[in-house]
Amino acid sequence: MEFWIWLSNALGAGSPRINDIVACFETAEHFYAEKKTGFRHVEFLTAPEKQKLIDASLSDALRLKERTLDKGYRILTPDQKEYPNRLRNIYAMPAVLYIDGTLAGLDDNVAITLVGARKCSDYGRTVAADLGRGLARMGAVVITGMARGIDGAAHEAALLAGGSTVAVLGCGLDIVYPPEHMTLRRETPKRGAVISEFPLGAKPEGFHFPIRNRLMSALSLGVVVVEGELSSGSLITANYALEQGKDVFAVPGSVLSGLSKGPFRLLQAGAIPVSCAGDILEEYRYRYAAKIDWRVPVEQNKREKPSAESRLKKADLAQPVVPIRKKRDLPPECDENIREIYEVLSEIPINADEIAARTQKNPAEVLTALSELEIMGYISANAGKRFCIC
């Protein structure tokens, strides 16, 4: 194991040389034996790469291994049978995966990656939550990068639905990024895994995220882009998916929004349009028949054009399409103002301004009522002061 860590430390995450090394030497330990010759006989390595390998210390790799295992994390390398098969044949396969949780069974399940803008619209956030929730309830594994915006909304909804999730980080496992996703980071390993190709202590550098995106697409059967500009990382993930032979889905959005440009470009190129989780899982209905649970409300999975009545119902965000939990009754002594505000809340987090707009109440009244509901234990406040039932 320490030889793979040494190799990863020397060449860095995302190095395409790992595939060549595995093909020629099978194990990192066999490859390490070439160090005594300065890798003189390894023709596919460049001179700078040989120097990095010579300079890299096996002792440092051993210390990193011990620190990682001491924290209760796991380490997977290509010579272990638990290493995901979906990663074995991709370009620049990872030499090391640091894992909090488990990836057991992932290769046999329907795994879908959801990506989108960090600074998303309320429309995008709501759609992402609906997709994450629906996929989780229908038995799919939801994969995200645990970033702000679309990732966070989809990930949180999937967890609330009791589903299995995998988060792929652009930093070390010991760093929570973004910091407001502490709860997601803590709860995800209980239902799946948080994984990283980067060692403990690695900060969330900008160049890390395109590197991690190839793992998000590789671990899944398909990638769904909810929102994103043309230059966004979401389209990088979609491009990786195409290169890896995975399906690409896109959520249609307003032509007036810059956040719809990415999905629109993908739809022009042949991406599969998505309006609900059923649209996605329909692609795997027969290949993974035993893994998909179609016993959810019909509006979650039907592909026919919805009626005007059903469209109106879906537009009413106060009534979630697929409730995750039954809303508890308030005590009889609660005043009417609190009841009216509680009525519009669901498992989809919304902010106080949205609640005020829906109830036509003064924002100060809304905040007071929300505080009382939170103290009573009926609602919880999420990142960005968005509230939902609990």
Domain boundaries, the chain: 2-101, 109-183+204-300, 336-389
- The SS3 call for residue 208 is helix
Mean predicted lDDT score pLDDT of the chain: 87
Q: What angle do CA 280, 283, 284 make, to 5 degrees?
A: 105
Query: In the beta sheet, which residues pair with residue 193?
Result: 101, 166
Q: Which residues contact 45 (CB under 8 A, 6 or more apart)?
A: 17, 39, 53
223, pLDDT greater than 90: yes
For residue 368, give the H/E element and its range: helix 363-376
Query: Confidence band (pLDDT; 50, 70, 90) for 261?
Result: very high
Tell me the per-residue pLDDT of 51-92, one tens digit each, with 9 for 90 and over.
999 999 999 999 999 999 999 999 999 999 999 999 998 989
pLDDT at 83: 94
Q: Tell me which residue of 205, 242, 249, 246 sits closest to 227, measured CA to CA.
A: 249
pLDDT at 218: 96
pLDDT at 380: 84
Q: pTM (2 decimals)?
A: 0.74
pLDDT at 332: 87
Tell me the per-residue pLDDT of 320-335, one tens digit each, with 9 for 90 and over.
333 445 678 888 888 8
- The SS3 call for residue 88 is coil
What CATH fold (topology level) applies to the domain 109-183+204-300? Answer: Rossmann fold (3.40.50)
211, pLDDT greater than 90: yes
Query: Confidence band (pLDDT; 50, 70, 90) for 140?
Result: very high
Tell me the per-residue pLDDT of 169-198, one tens digit each, with 9 for 90 and over.
999 999 999 999 999 999 999 999 999 999
Query: Confidence band (pLDDT; 50, 70, 90) for 298?
Result: very low
Query: Confidence band (pLDDT; 50, 70, 90) for 310?
Result: very low
Could you tell me which CATH number the domain at 336-389 has?
Answer: 1.10.10.10
Q: What is the token pair recorded at 167?
A: 């988060």
Query: Confidence band (pLDDT; 50, 70, 90) for 159?
Result: very high
Cis peptide before 178 (omega within 30 of 0): yes
| 144/237 Cα distance (integer angstroms) | 11
Q: Which residue has the tokens 């027969």?
A: 286
What integer is the mean pLDDT of 253-274? 91
pLDDT at 384: 54
> For residue 235, what are the CA distances in angstroms to 77, 209, 324?
28, 12, 30
CB 168 within 8 A of CB 216: yes
